[in-house]
A and B are shown apart, each in its own frame.
Chain A
Amino acid sequence: MAYNLKQEMNKEERFHSGHRLCAGCGAGIVCRAMMRAVDPEDKAVICNATGCLEVSSFQYPYTAWEDSYIHTAFENASATASGVEAAYKVMKRKGKLGEETNFKILAIGGDGGTYDIGFQSLSGALERGHDFTYFCYDNNAYMNTGTQRSSATPQFASATTTPAGVESVGKKQTQKDLTQIVVAHSSPYVAQTTLYGNMKDFHEKAHRAIYTAGPTFVNVLTPCPRGWNYPAENLLEICKAAIDTCVWPLYEVVEGEYHLTYEPKKKLPVEEFMSKQGRFAHCFKPGNEWTIEAAQAYVDKKWEELLEKCK
C-alpha cells in the first residue's frame, strides 16, 4: 500500500510523550516512526540496550512504550531479543499463546550498544537467524555518558575522548561500516535511513524489515543536538545534508541485492554537512583544510563503492 503520511499520523501513538530524552533528540522521532511501522493489529516487544533511550523511556515507574519492553544491559539487546523470540516460538508451538495475536520482536540500541559493546551479541543473533528487527539509532558517539567517541564516530569529529586541540583534529579513524558488516551476515533485509522528507523512506524500510522473516537490520542516522553541537531545531537540515553529501547514503539490501533509495540530484560537498555542526568546527580553521579534503575523499570512495554495488 502506498505510503500516506496522514494515515500514518492518524495511527494511535506507540511511543508516548513524557519520556526524558533531551529536547530535539532524534531518538524520539526514530522510536515513534519505528512503532508506526508495526501494524496496528500486531503487538511488539521492544528489547532496548542501555543508553540515552533506555534511561529516558523507562524511568521507573514511567514507560513511554505502548508495548511490552525489556531492558537488561548495554551489550545484550540482541541476546535478550533472541530469548524473547525463542519464547515466542515455543509458546506458540505449545499453545500457550492465542492464535490471533502476532508479536513483532524489535531490538533497539544506540551506536555504542550496536557497533561496539553490543556487536558480538548482534552478530550472534543475526547468525542464528532469529526472527527480529534490530534498529540502531546511530548518533555517532556514546551520548548517554557525554559524547565519547565510538566506532561510529566519523573521522575528524571532536568527541570528549577525541577532542580537537592544538595537536588533534578530532577522531583519527573513519566510521565502521556496520551496515555492510550486517549484510555480510546474509541478513534477508538490511537498510540505512535517516529522518527526512515525509518519513516515507524510514517507514517503508522499517515496515519491510519488521515484516521480513528472519533477522533484519535498520541503521538510522540520528542527530544528537548536544553531541553534534547544533541548535536542536536544525535536525532536519542536518539529516538532509547527510544524504545530499552522501555522508549517509540511503539504501537497502534485499536478499543480498543492493538498491539505492535516494540519489541526490546534485551531490553536495561534505562541508555542507560538517559546517552545520560544532563537532567539526575545528576543521574549518586555517591550516586544517586538509581534513575536509580527506573527509571528502573518504565519502567519495565509499559512495563510488556503493554505486558499484547498486548496479
Chain B
Amino acid sequence: MSIRERLSGNEAIATAMRQINPDVFAMFPITPSTEIPQYFAQYVADGKVDTEFICVESEHSSLSACLGAEAAGCRAVTATSSAGLSYMNEVLYVAGSSRLPVVLAVACRALTGPININHDYSDSMAERDSGFIQLYGENNQEVYDNYLMAHRIAEHPLVRLPLMVCEDGFITSHAIENIEIEEDDKVKAFVGEYHPENYLLKKENPLAVGPYGVSGYYMEARVAQAQAMKNAKQVILDVAADFEKTFGRKYGFFEEYRMEDAEVAMVIMGSSAGTAKAAVDELRRDGVKAGLVKIRVFRPFPGEELAKVLTGCKAVAVMDKSEGFSACGGPLFAETAGACINLDKRPKLIDIVFGLGGRDFTVAAALQVFDRLQGIAETGEIGEVYTHMGQREA
C-alpha cells in the first residue's frame, strides 16, 4: 500500500533517495536544492541509510566525486541548482562520454544575472546537450516518481547515461503537497541492485576510464553515445510501463492534456503546466478546442511522437521558461519546430518566453496565449514568432 504524505519536492526526492539507499552522495549546498542533502544528512545521522555521504568543496567536485564513485562500482548521486549546475558543466560532459550513470537532482533555478534564486529552466536548458537524460516533473508526485525510475533508466546496459531529475525551484522544491509515497521494500525491489560488469575496484581485471581519444576514435565514440540516447527512449517507456504495473501511475515522454481534437495547443513543461491546464479546462467549457502537451522527457527529445500529436492542431504556442539569446526563440521552441518540420500537415508555431527568474505565470496569462492562438488559427496570420510575456513594457 502506498502511503499518503505531505512532502515538499525536495523532501520527496530525499525520501526516494533514502529508499534507494545509494552508495555515495557527494553534496555541495546551493539554493533551492540544498534541502535535499540536508534531509539526507539527517537520514545518515539517524542510521536510516548506509550511504557514504561526503561534503565536498564545490559542485565541480561533487560531480567529480560521483564519477569516481560510479566508476568504482557504486550508485552515486548528488543534487544542485543554477550556478552549481553551470559549475559542473565540464564534468557533466565527462559523465556522458564516460557513460557513468550518475543520477543528479536539479531544483531548476535562474542563472545570473542579475543573480536570482527563483525558478526558470536556464540552468538545466543550458546543459541540454551535455549527454544527460533529462526528466521533468510537474509536481511533487511526478518528481518523486521520476526519481524512482531514474536509476533503472540510467543504468540500463543499452543506455548507461547520466540522468537529471528536474523539479521547479521553490514552486516544486519547497511547496508542500499530498503525495503517494511507496513502501520502502517495494521501492527497493523496483529499483533493484546495481551490478556493473566492470568497475575500478573489480579484482579480476582492471578498468581504465577516460582516455585521450584521437580523431580516429572520437567520432565513433560520439556516435555510440548518441545511439545510447536513442536507446534511452524505449528504456524510458519500458521502465514507465513497469512502474505503472507496480505502482499504478502512468508516464510517457509527455502528457497529452485534452489533445484528442485540439485545434489550439500549448507545449509546456513543469509546474506551469498545472496553471495552463486550468486555462484549457476553462476554454473547453466555452467550447474552444484547446489542449496542451506537457513535456516530461526533454532528453532524449521525443520529436517524432510530439509531432504526431501536434499535426492535427492549427496553432501551437511553445512556452519556453528560459531565454536562449538566440534572437529567434528558446530551446523548447527549437526542438518542437524541428520535430514538426517534416510533417505534411503542421500547425503554425509561435514561441513565448515567460516566467524568467520566478516571474508569475497565471491562468489569465495562459488564456491570453490561447486567445492569440485562436486568432492565428482563424486568420493564418502568425505575427511575431518569438515574443516574451509577463515583463513590463514602456
Residues of A at under 8 Å CB distance from B? 43, 45, 47, 54-55, 58-61, 63, 65-73, 75-76, 78-91, 93-94, 96-98, 101, 103, 120-121, 123-124, 127-128
Contacts and interface: CB of A to CB of B under 8 A. Distances in A.
Given A47-B68, A58-B211, A91-B74, A69 B60 contact: no
Interface stretch (B49-57, B134-142, B229-237): B49-57
B19 to A, nearest CB: 16
Interface residues of B, number: 44
Contact of B54 (A69, A73, A82): A82
B200 A82 contact: no
A220 to B, nearest CB: 22
B302 to A, nearest CB: 30
Interface of B: 23-24, 26, 50-52, 54-58, 60-62, 64-74, 76, 90-91, 94, 98, 200-203, 206-214, 217
A68 B74 contact: no
B72 to A, nearest CB: 3
Residue among B90, B206, B207, B208 with most chain A CB within 10 A: B208
Nearest to A75: B60
B208 A79 contact: no
A45 B200 CA distance: 7
A70 B206 contact: no
Contacts of B200: 45, 68-70, 84, 87
Given A82-B64, A85-B68, 6 more contacts: A55-B212, A83-B67, A83-B69, A86-B54, A94-B23, A97-B203
Contacts of B66: 83
Nearest to A123: B57
A172 to B, nearest CB: 30
A59 B71 CA distance: 18
Given A68-B200, A72-B98, A63 B211 contact: yes
Given A86-B54, A121-B57, A60 B214 contact: yes
Contacts of A96: 73
A96 B68 CA distance: 17
B237 to A, nearest CB: 31
Contacts of B69: 83-84, 86-87
B23 A87 contact: yes
A91 B23 contact: yes
Nearest to A94: B50
B174 to A, nearest CB: 28
A65 B205 CA distance: 12
Contact of A83 (B55, B64, B213, B217): B64
B24 A86 contact: yes
List 9 tightest A-B contacts by C-beta distance, closest first. A83-B68, A124-B57, A83-B65, A87-B72, A79-B61, A79-B64, A76-B64, A71-B210, A83-B69
B208 A68 contact: yes
A68 B201 contact: yes
A66 B61 contact: no
Contacts of A101: 203
A67 B68 contact: no
Nearest to A60: B211
30 contacts: A43-B203, A43-B206, A58-B210, A59-B213, A60-B213, A60-B217, A65-B206, A67-B206, A68-B202, A69-B206, A70-B67, A70-B210, A71-B211, A72-B210, A76-B91, A82-B65, A83-B67, A84-B72, A86-B54, A86-B65, A86-B68, A88-B72, A89-B52, A90-B23, A90-B24, A93-B50, A97-B201, A121-B58, A124-B61, A127-B57
B65 A90 contact: no
Contact of A65 (B72, B74, B208): B208
Given A79-B65, A128-B56, A87 B212 contact: no
Contact of B74 (A45, A87, A120): A87
B57 A120 contact: yes
Contacts of B73: 87, 91, 96
Nearest to A77: B64
A97 B23 CA distance: 13
